[in-house]
Amino acid sequence: MSSSGNTVTDLRPFRVDVPEERLADLRRRITTTQWPEKETVADHTQGVPLGMMQDLARYWATEYDWRRCEAALNDLPHFLTEIDGLDIHFIHVRSEHEDALPLVVNHGWPGSIIEQLKIIDRLTNPTAHGGSATDAFHVVIPSMPGYGFSGKPTGPGWGPERMAGAWAELMSRLRYSRYVAQGGDWGAFVVDQMGLQAPSGLLAIHTNMPATVPADVNDAAQAGEPPPADLSVEERRAYEQLIRTFGQVEYARYMAARPQTLYGIADSPVGLAAWLLDHNDADGQPAAAVVAALDRTTSNTGELTRDEVLDNITLYWLTNTGVSASRLYWEYKGGFFNAKGVSIPVAVSVFPGEQYQAPRSWAERAYPNLIHYNQVDKGGHFAAWEQPELFCEEIRAAFASVR
């Protein structure tokens, strides 16, 4: 990947403008859904319950307003730039504080830039949120290839390793000679790869889904074996969480094996919504925070709401990225939570609803240059989306020592 000849003119302004006929078609498709029969159990063990999906679909088709989300997106500066033959979309918000620290934030699946909208002003304008000017960040939020408004790869090879190089190139094009990176879910894989590649200018990374599991523990968990005998109480708890997680990722295994077969999520909005809702975290299956949000219409504290969940699902539908996003699971051949060997400065935040709660002992071994470790008291897998204020507090603390 080369930046030769690149100038700021390579950055093309972008605006979200969905034709009204696309929205009318979405509503029509929702209302003409062919529904299956009700599940035969009284819990979620067979998947997303029929009643939940029908309630959501009814609201989506008759009351939900995409134009509200579109207007909020267009209040932010969006750009496209071609990197390694692919158009990359990103949001770029500079703080009014010129000494702000540049930060690139990575989303994951089944997420998008929608997940990060609530953290932008908190990070770029900290004085309006109880912080100080010295806490400020310039914020860059790219859409991963195959996701959102970025281009869709037409050949294999766009895994986390290549994305890591692309984000380093992007920060270079933005003329940031020193910066930090943050990620959760697939974004955590990308920032780990950035840490391994250690591009010039990358000062540190922060992860809210750390890859800390020692090799012997990871092998045992993958095989479903009893835990190694020498684990501490905290490590044994993490091991049990890993066992549960590895037993709940059928959706991931399918995308890793046969992503192209998921034609249904490209043809049916309700099929897409159910697929994006049916993922696990440590609080339950489907993800408890997202399910709880379906009953929450407003939040004064930044907690996830029904409209925000539908904003993300609708973005997937309007960009037709259900299948292209799924291919990332097929692309990646490495381990998930195993230590990767990152030696640059790393900050770790452990949220209680994450797929496993990484013990400090494992984090210190996996990231020998650990500059921040904290176990917070609420929030889960979609940390920035679920608890934006707490998440931003962690980001400020994580990178304070590298400013």
User: What is the pLDDT averaged over residues 201-226?
Assistant: 94
CB neighbour class for 115 (10 Å; exposed up to 12, middle 13-18, buried from 19): buried
Q: How far is CA 225 from the centre of its chain?
A: 30
pLDDT for 285 equals: 67
- Does the pLDDT of residue 243 top 80, yes or no? yes
- Sign for the pseudo-dihedral over CA of 141, 245, 197, 371: positive
Residue 200 scores a pLDDT above 70: yes
Q: How far is residue 354 from each of residues 32, 73, 348, 367, measured CA to CA in Å?
A: 36, 28, 12, 19
What is the separation of C-alpha 338 from the centre of its chain, rounded to a whole number of angstroms?
19
pLDDT of 115: 96
Residue 277 is predicted with a pLDDT of 93
pLDDT range class, residue 283, cuts 50, 70, 90: confident
- The CB-side HSE value for 194 (13 A sphere, CA atoms) comes to 33
Please, which residues bridge with residue 80 across strands?
Answer: 12, 89
pLDDT in tens, 163-198: 999 999 999 999 999 999 999 999 999 999 999 999
pLDDT averaged over every residue in the chain: 94
In 3D, which of 270, 372, 225, 340 has the Cα closest to residue 54?
A: 270
Bridge partners of residue 183, in order along the sequence: 106, 207
- Tell me the per-residue pLDDT of 92-113, one tens digit each, with 9 for 90 and over: 999 999 899 999 999 999 999 9
Residue 246 has pLDDT above 90, yes or no: no
pLDDT digits (tens, 9 = 90+) for 332-350: 999 899 999 999 999 999 9
Spatial separation of the C-alpha atoms in residues 206 and 346, rounded to whole Å: 6
Task: Provide the pLDDT for residue 6.
Answer: 44
Residue 221 token pair: 């968990």
Q: DSSP code of 136?
A: -
Angle at 370 between CA 366 and CA 373, to 5 degrees: 100
For residues 381-393, b (16+ Cβ closer than 10 Å) or e, as one string?
bbbbbbbbebbbb
* pTM summary value: 0.95
* Exposed/middle/buried for residue 52 (C-beta within 10 Å: 0-12, 13-18, 19+): middle
Cis omega (within 30 of 0) on the bond before 49?
no
Question: What's the pLDDT at 2?
Answer: 31
Q: 1 falls in which pLDDT band (50, 70, 90)?
A: very low
CB atoms within 10 A of CB 304: 25
> What percent of the chain has pLDDT above 70?
97
